[in-house]
């Protein structure tokens, strides 16, 4: 140790002094600058600050941010929000010791010109003057080195903010602007970051469980504007409710959908780096709900920023699962009941169907790579009958029929099951130690214990179920499956259903591939020319948010007709015939209608977002 000391001292002397100013989280509720006579004047300053994403009492990190000159700094940087037609005069002063290139301070909704980028040397001040442009959700950002948002990782990663243009003549909507950022020191070659890494995903400058808690009342109309200033793709998932994706943007243009057109309903929307979307939803049921990224590695509790280790995962299991085991891109939403005149409890409309879903150990696992699986029991029937327990048994429910599913935990660790995409009561939603209402919260299911989930699926479609406690470990061990809701289970024809259920292999040695229907080598399907098949593509993989599923004849995609997304039928104008190519984020499902028009061999091919094959399933057409 003494021998190392001079070297450490030299390193310490070489490091720039830690910034003394501490940034506050930015809730993005008010625009920066002064709006007068149709002109927004704002003085932005790039400076080095300390950011504490885990709260004021937790360790911080040194990052660069934009702040308003003379005002406290925040993460993310100041919100610029103006009515359409406003002229923006933004002075940008660079108080950093390196030059920055600023992007996004130019007119929105038109092709980008050279004015969109502005180099500001250290100590310099430059002015951007422009008319705001088309209404929508945008962002501005800067970097000392990277030419792209996705290339930023460390100190530059928080250098930016949201930019919103409201329609002319309207007051700003009562919406919330949610800016996602990511600070990371290192990522491995695959860009996959694990629990042990020191990194931070944040929404409006804070990581779960320190993100803002949102509160609404049943029946409110809620609007979120999502802005991804991070270097990663985030499939954002809302529990319990569909939301309407009102617009999608690339930061330069925002494709606000025709208000008269059909809604784009989803429970999960993929958000690549630099992109934006706007969502509207109505919380119709009281209780606690989550809105979170469905890439499980983006909702892990990460190591404290001072580098101290986390307790081992199993030890953490004894605490509040959602608070203590999740982190990063999670928002908690409390929905208060709307006061109503009490009505007498009505008798159940129809008898409740009773199922048991048993989580248990499968054969072939190790302590490091456990093998778990589900067994579905109904009366004397058990599915599957033997091992291996992969994939989870498909749960087939009848639309409108009340169901009781008793989850029995035969594991040696707590678990909980989330019925992903189902509109149900909060208490049964399966987020351990979080779902429910104050005083009536559903705990994690302890080993040897059970939990009865009750719901009545209101619509037919393709859904999924998976644990919402220690998701990375339990899903990789084999706990997940498809949940199909149909109008008439007796008439359900599995021979005309082509399931493409994408999950993660149990062993890390197989991590360069994915499982299709629980297998690295899925068995072939036999289809008949001219008959109509429903292809259900489901992604419950814990990471890989950009996979693409295709149905190919040789190397060319056949065509299919889109019929549903996230379990919800598409309106006629969106149910179009298109090439059989679909990108799919974690927690998304897509249904297609496929009618093979000639005999021969097809295959389902699942690749990474850049085309690297991950899995293939043969289809023989006779
Ligand atoms: Cu994510």
How far does the centroid of ligand 1 lie from the alpha carbon of residue 181, in Å? 10
How far does the centroid of ligand 1 lie from the alpha carbon of residue 187, in Å? 14
How far does the centroid of ligand 1 lie from the alpha carbon of residue 615, in Å? 23
**pLDDT for the residue 259:** 65
How far does the centroid of ligand 1 lie from the alpha carbon of residue 497, in Å? 30
Peptide bond between residue 308 and the one before it cis (omega within 30 degrees of 0): no
How far does the centroid of ligand 1 lie from the alpha carbon of residue 286, in Å? 26
How far does the centroid of ligand 1 lie from the alpha carbon of residue 193, in Å? 11
CA distance 501 to 47: 47
**pLDDT for the residue 310:** 80
CA distance 146 to 59: 27
**pLDDT for the residue 588:** 98
CA distance 130 to 292: 35
CA distance 598 to 490: 30
CA distance 141 to 151: 12
3-state SS string for 415-436 = ECEEEECCCCCHHHCCCCCCCE
Maximum alpha-carbon separation in the chain: 79
3-state SS string for 480-504 = CEEEEEECCHHHCCHHHEEEEEEEC
How far does the centroid of ligand 1 lie from the alpha carbon of residue 291, in Å? 11
How far does the centroid of ligand 1 lie from the alpha carbon of residue 577, in Å? 30
Q: Which residues of the chain have pLDDT under 50?
A: 1-16, 186-195
How far does the centroid of ligand 1 lie from the alpha carbon of residue 547, in Å? 14
**pLDDT for the residue 5:** 39
How far does the centroid of ligand 1 lie from the alpha carbon of residue 329, in Å? 7
**pLDDT for the residue 172:** 75
How far does the centroid of ligand 1 lie from the alpha carbon of residue 232, in Å? 7
Of 81, 103, 116, 198, nearest in space to 150 by CA: 103
How far does the centroid of ligand 1 lie from the alpha carbon of residue 300, in Å? 10
Place of tokens 């023989």: 620
CA distance 297 to 511: 14
How far does the centroid of ligand 1 lie from the alpha carbon of residue 2, in Å? 43
- Residue 441 makes CB contacts below 8 A (sequence gap 6+) with 288, 427, 433, 434, 435
**pLDDT for the residue 495:** 96
Per DSSP (E only), the strands in 531-612 are: 533-539, 547-553, 556-557, 559-565, 568-569, 577-579, 581-584, 589-594, 600-607
Ramachandran area for residue 191 (φ above 0: left; ψ -120 to 50: alpha; else beta): left
Q: How many CB atoms are closer than 10 A to CB 423?
A: 18
Place of tokens 């033997």: 386
- Residue 260 makes CB contacts below 8 A (sequence gap 6+) with none
All structural domains of the chain: 24-336 (2.60.40.420), 353-490 (2.60.40.420), 508-621 (2.60.40.420)
Residues 70-114 pLDDT 10s = 999 999 999 999 999 999 999 999 999 999 999 999 999 999 888
**pLDDT for the residue 195:** 43
How far does the centroid of ligand 1 lie from the alpha carbon of residue 598, in Å? 41
Of 44, 49, 40, 43, nearest in space to 16 by CA: 49
CA distance 244 to 257: 11
CA distance 239 to 265: 13
Place of tokens 């908690």: 332
How far does the centroid of ligand 1 lie from the alpha carbon of residue 184, in Å? 14
How far does the centroid of ligand 1 lie from the alpha carbon of residue 464, in Å? 19
């Amino acid at each position: 140790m003494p021998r190392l000391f001079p070297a450490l001292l030299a390193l310490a002397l070489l490091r720039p002094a830690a910034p003394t100013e501490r940034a506050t989280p930015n809730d993005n509720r008010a625009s920066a600058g002064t709006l007068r006579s149709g002109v927004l004047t704002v003085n932005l300053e790039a400076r080095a600050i300390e950011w504490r994403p885990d709260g004021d009492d937790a360790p911080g990190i040194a990052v660069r941010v934009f702040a308003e000159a003379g005002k406290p700094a925040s993460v993310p940087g100041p919100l610029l929000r103006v009515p359409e037609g406003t002229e923006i005069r933004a002075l940008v002063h660079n108080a950093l010791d390196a030059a920055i290139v600023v992007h996004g301070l130019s007119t929105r909704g038109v092709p980008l010109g050279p004015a969109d980028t502005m180099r500001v040397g250290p100590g310099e001040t430059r002015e951007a003057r422009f008319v705001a442009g088309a209404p929508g959700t945008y962002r501005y950002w800067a970097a000392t080195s990277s030419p792209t948002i996705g290339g930023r990782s460390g100190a530059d990663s928080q250098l930016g903010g949201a930019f919103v243009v409201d329609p002319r003549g309207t007051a700003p909507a009562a919406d919330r602007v949610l800016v996602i950022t990511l600070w990371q020191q290192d990522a491995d070659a695959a860009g996959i970051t694990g629990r042990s890494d020191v990194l931070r995903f944040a929404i409006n400058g804070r990581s779960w469980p320190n993100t803002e808690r949102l509160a609404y009342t049943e029946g409110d109309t809620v609007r979120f504007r999502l802005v991804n200033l991070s270097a990663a793709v985030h499939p954002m998932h809302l529990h319990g409710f569909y939301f309407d994706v009102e617009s999608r943007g690339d930061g330069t243009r925002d494709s606000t959908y025709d208000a008269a057109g059909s809604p784009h309903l989803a429970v999960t929307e993929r958000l690549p780096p630099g992109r934006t979307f706007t969502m509207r939803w109505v919380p119709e049921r009281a209780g606690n709900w989550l809105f979170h990224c469905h890439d499980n590695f983006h909702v892990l509790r990460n190591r404290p920023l001072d580098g101290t280790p986390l307790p081992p995962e199993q030890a953490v299991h004894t605490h509040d699962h959602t608070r203590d085991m999740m982190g990063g891109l999670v928002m908690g939403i409390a929905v208060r009941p709307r006061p109503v005149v009490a009505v007498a409890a009505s008798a159940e409309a129809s008898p409740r169907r009773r199922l048991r879903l048993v989580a248990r150990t499968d054969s072939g696992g190790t302590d490091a790579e456990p093998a778990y699986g589900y067994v579905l029991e109904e009366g004397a029937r058990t599915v599957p009958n033997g091992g291996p327990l992969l994939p989870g048994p498909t749960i087939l429910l009848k639309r409108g029929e009340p169901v009781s599913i008793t989850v029995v935990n035969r594991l040696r660790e707590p678990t909980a099951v989330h019925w992903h995409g189902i509109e149900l009561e909060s208490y049964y939603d399966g987020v351990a130690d979080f779902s429910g209402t104050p005083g009536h919260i559903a705990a994690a299911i302890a080993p040897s214990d059970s939990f009865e989930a009750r719901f009545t699926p209101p619509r037919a479609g393709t859904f999924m179920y998976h644990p919402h406690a220690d998701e990375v470990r339990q899903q990789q061990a084999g706990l997940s499956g498809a949940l199909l809701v149909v109008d008439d289970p007796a008439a359900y024809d599995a021979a005309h259903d082509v399931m493409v259920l994408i999950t993660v292999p149990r062993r890390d040695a197989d991590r360069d591939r994915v499982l299709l229907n629980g297998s690295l080598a899925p068995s072939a399907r036999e289809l008949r020319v001219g008959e109509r098949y429903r292809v259900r593509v489901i992604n419950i993989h814990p990471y890989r948010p950009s996979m693409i599923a295709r149905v190919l004849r040789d190397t060319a995609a056949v065509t299919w007709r889109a019929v549903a997304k996230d379990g919800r039928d598409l309106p006629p104008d969106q149910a179009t015939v298109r090439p059989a190519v679909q990108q799919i984020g974690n927690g998304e499902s897509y249904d297609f209608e496929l009618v093979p028009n000639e005999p021969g061999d097809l295959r389902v091919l699942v690749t990474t977002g850049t085309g690297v094959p991950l899995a293939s399933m043969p289809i023989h057409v006779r």
